[in-house]
């Protein structure tokens, strides 16, 4: 529960710069989830999810060298170095976008508890709370 609250706080904190620039109130978790729902059908498809994750990779890649280092990755709340090491398939100490997307795609599979190929709001909610 505590981890979830911290995650929510970090989400609001991370979204603050852009939100602040547009003079809007802080985004809620639901708004953040809906941000990936490009076609507004109330669900996040794998394509929508991976599109959003490409954006995430770009923004987390601080020096824009095309790879995520462990230092860059650990700026993400909830980041687990052991999982980073597992995702690093060629063991070069950094994640390429391909490695990253393959790994995060497995997270999508894990979150899709009813195996229908899309994430509903409840699935996303329980997934990030784990």
Partner 1 sequence: MTRRHRAGQGALVSAILMTFLLLGCESTGPKTAVGGLGGAAAGGLLAAALGGKGPGIAAGTILGGLIGGTIGDRLDAADREKAHAAASQALEAVPSGHSVAWQNPDSGNTCTVTPVRTYQTATGQYCRQYTQTINIGGEKHKSYGTACREPDGSWRIVN
In the region spanning residues 2 to 61, those forming contacts with partner 1, defined by CB under 8 A, are 3, 7, 10-11, 14-18, 20-21, 27, 32-33, 35-36, 38, 51-60
In eight-state DSSP terms, residue 25 is P
Output the CA–CA distances (angstroms, integers) from residue 93 to 5, 33, 66, 81, 105, in the order listed.
31, 30, 13, 11, 20
In eight-state DSSP terms, residue 92 is S
Shortest separation between residue 42's beta carbon and partner 1, angstroms: 16
Comparison of 20 and 42: residue with beta carbon closer to partner 1: 20
Q: Count Cα neighbours of 118 within 13 Å in the Cβ-side half-sphere.
A: 14
In the region spanning residues 58 to 77, those forming contacts with partner 1, defined by CB under 8 A, are 58-60, 64-67, 76-77
Shortest separation between residue 121's beta carbon and partner 1, angstroms: 13
Q: Does 1 bind partner 1 (CB under 8 A)?
A: no
Q: Which residues contact 89 (CB under 8 A, 6 or more apart)?
A: 99, 102
| Site residue total, partner 1 (CB under 8 A) | 59
Instruction: Of 36, 9, 5, give the one whose Cα is nearest residue 124.
Output: 36
Residue numbers at the binding site for partner 1 (CB under 8 A): 3, 7, 10-11, 14-18, 20-21, 27, 32-33, 35-36, 38, 51-60, 64-67, 76-80, 83-84, 86-87, 96-97, 100, 102-107, 109-113, 126-130
């Amino acid at each position: 529960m505590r981890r979830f609250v911290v995650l929510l706080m970090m989400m609001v904190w991370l979204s603050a710069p852009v939100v602040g620039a547009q003079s809007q109130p802080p985004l809620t978790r639901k708004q953040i989830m809906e941000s990936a729902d490009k076609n507004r059908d109330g669900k996040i498809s794998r394509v929508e999810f991976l599109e959003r994750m490409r954006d995430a990779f770009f923004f987390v890649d601080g020096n824009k060298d095309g790879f995520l280092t462990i230092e860059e990755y650990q700026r993400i709340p909830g980041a687990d170095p052991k999982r980073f090491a597992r995702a690093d398939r060629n063991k070069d100490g950094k994640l390429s976008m391909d490695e990253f997307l393959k790994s995060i795609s497995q997270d999508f599979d894990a979150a899709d508890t009813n195996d229908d190929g899309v994430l509903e709001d409840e699935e996303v909610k329980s997934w990030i709370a784990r």
